[in-house]
């Protein structure tokens, strides 16, 4: 049976599916397949709620995010930021003639950062008395998994197997000429020339890092502008900065073929607006066109779990699949393939299993989106075009960082904050930011949107001076037609 501690009371809670969560019939109350940011968070929350929990992980706790994605890339980006700053020595009053850059040190530091956090997750597993079963797992029935020949059972199962890099049809990533982010994150020897296919966050972040260390980078994007999921004005600011760095950007350009040759790779592309064809040559190509779900070979058929035509596992707002005691979280369900979304979904799944109050997720527009290149990009909600297409009469408040004292002091004047509100009710429909440390400014606005605050309330909230956050306050005033400093 499940017990839940609330203050000094002990409350008996049956779970939502008509059976007690704790049962001698199974090895565990909750078995999580996959130890990434969705899986390990779900396991911790389940354990906190008194459920006997285990995590099956075939490789490393922390998943792609901690080992091959979010965390090590941010460490590399920090190195790239310092390199860019050193190039601005004259502006800040210093100079030197013998600057030497060692990219191998940057990679080593990124691995150390990753390793430290992975060890921290291992500690959390022990702290919360969660069993970690090392091995490759697959469902063999509604309540059972086979983990490298060993059968494990659970009353409830959370699938958190994530996703893998998508590739063009017929293309194989060899880690030498054709790379994915997993190859690039540990590569110590940099190519002289690199083509990146895909100008989303992964592509643009690697372009920023490699360019900082002297690689000749070309980015190819099939959609009309780089960062295609972001506001076009935001993307334009990033494009201008990257061209200034020397990165070649080819938007509205489709990659038709990639061929490995003696000197590296040959990439055939075509401009979708003009029809002009071009052949690019480089030592390597990095594929960053998105991800595909790791839904094959995990036994979904044996348990009767349904997927859609693209392989994403279908779930409801509490992450339940069509089999009520089996849940799917994170990249596997395709709702929004971001680490923080996976963690939020994991908490909802665990709380639903335990039968405690939770916050089901049915609106992903409030989920933050971030790109950590320079300048940074952060957003929530609808763009101007999306808001108008949805039928809203909108007002837009926009304030540039070049009018912000802290930004000028930092020497970071590029970018702006744009706030989109419904003209009638002043509901915040979307926020789009590009500029210095904007990823750190987003929580105020996502919280405001969740609590249904208006620009009036944001504008009346006194922001410390001088801070970058004042730009939020000014954008709120601007949406109402009375920006103070513009």
Q: Residue 313: how many CB atoms within 10 A of its CB? A: 25
At residue 356, the 3 state secondary structure works out as coil
> CB–CB of 317/361 below 8 Å?
yes
Q: Which residue has the tokens 């639903």?
A: 352
Distance set, CA 486 to CA 253, 401, 483 (Å): 38, 11, 6
Cα–Cα dist 222/75, whole Å = 29
Cα–Cα dist 86/456, whole Å = 41
Tell me which of 465, 477, 482, 485 is the catalytic residue: 465
156 given a catalytic annotation: no
375 upstream amide cis, omega within 30 of 0:
yes
Q: Taking every pair of C-alpha atoms in the chain, what is the biggest distance, in angstroms?
A: 73
Nearest Cα residue to 371 out of 467, 437, 291, 446: 437
Distance set, CA 432 to CA 8, 25, 383, 398, 426 (Å): 45, 51, 8, 9, 17
Phi first, then psi: give them for residue 366, nearest 5 degrees: -90, 0
Cα–Cα dist 344/429, whole Å = 21
Report the catalytic residues. 465
């Amino acid at each position: 049976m499940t017990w839940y501690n609330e203050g000094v009371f002990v409350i008996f809670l049956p779970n939502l599916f008509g059976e007690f969560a704790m049962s001698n019939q199974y090895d565990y109350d909750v078995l999580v397949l996959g130890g990434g940011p969705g899986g390990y968070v779900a396991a911790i929350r389940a354990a906190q709620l008194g459920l006997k929990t285990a995590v099956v992980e075939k490789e490393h706790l922390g998943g792609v995010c901690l080992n091959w994605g979010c965390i090590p890339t941010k460490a590399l980006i920090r190195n790239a930021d310092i390199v860019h700053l050193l190039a601005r020595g004259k502006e800040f009053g210093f100079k030197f003639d013998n600057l030497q850059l060692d990219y191998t040190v940057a990679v080593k530091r990124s691995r150390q950062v990753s390793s430290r956090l992975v060890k921290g997750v291992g500690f959390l597993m022990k702290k919360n008395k969660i069993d970690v079963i090392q091995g490759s797992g697959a469902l063999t029935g509604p309540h059972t998994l086979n983990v490298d020949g060993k059968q494990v059972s659970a009353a409830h199962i959370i699938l958190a197997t994530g996703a893998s890099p998508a590739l063009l049809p017929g293309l194989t990533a060899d880690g030498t000429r054709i790379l994915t982010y997993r190859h690039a994150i540990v590569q110590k020897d940099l190519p002289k020339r690199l083509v990146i296919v895909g100008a989303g966050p992964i592509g643009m972040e690697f372009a920023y890092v490699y360019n900082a260390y002297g690689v000749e980078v070309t980015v190819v994007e099939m959609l009309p502008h780089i960062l295609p999921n972001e506001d076009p004005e935001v993307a334009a600011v990033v494009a201008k900065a990257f061209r200034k760095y020397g990165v070649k950007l080819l938007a509205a350009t489709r990659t038709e073929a990639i061929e490995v040759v003696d000197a590296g790779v040959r990439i055939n592309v075509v401009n979708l607006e003009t029809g002009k064809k071009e052949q690019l040559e480089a030592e390597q190509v990095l594929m960053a066109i998105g991800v595909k779900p790791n839904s094959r070979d995990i036994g979904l058929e044996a348990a009767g779990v349904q997927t859609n035509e693209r392989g994403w596992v279908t779930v409801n707002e509490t992450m339940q699949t069509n089999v009520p005691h089996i849940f799917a979280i994170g990249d596997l369900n395709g709702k929004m393939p971001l680490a923080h979304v996976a963690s939020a979904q994991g908490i909802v799944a665990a709380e639903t299993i335990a039968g405690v109050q939770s916050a089901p997720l049915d609106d992903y527009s409030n989920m933050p989106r971030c790109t950590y290149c320079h300048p940074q990009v952060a957003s929530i909600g609808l763009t101007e075009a999306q808001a108008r297409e949805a039928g809203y009469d909108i007002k837009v408040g926009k304030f540039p960082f070049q009018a912000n004292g802290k930004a000028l002091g930092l020497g970071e004047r590029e970018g702006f904050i744009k706030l989109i509100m419904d003209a009638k009710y002043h509901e915040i429909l979307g926020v789009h930011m590009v500029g210095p440390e904007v990823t750190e400014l987003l929580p105020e606005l996502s919280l405001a949107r969740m609590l249904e605050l208006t620009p009036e309330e944001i504008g009346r909230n006194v922001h410390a001076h001088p801070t970058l956050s004042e730009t939020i306050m000014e954008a709120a005033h601007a949406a109402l037609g009375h920006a103070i400093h513009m």
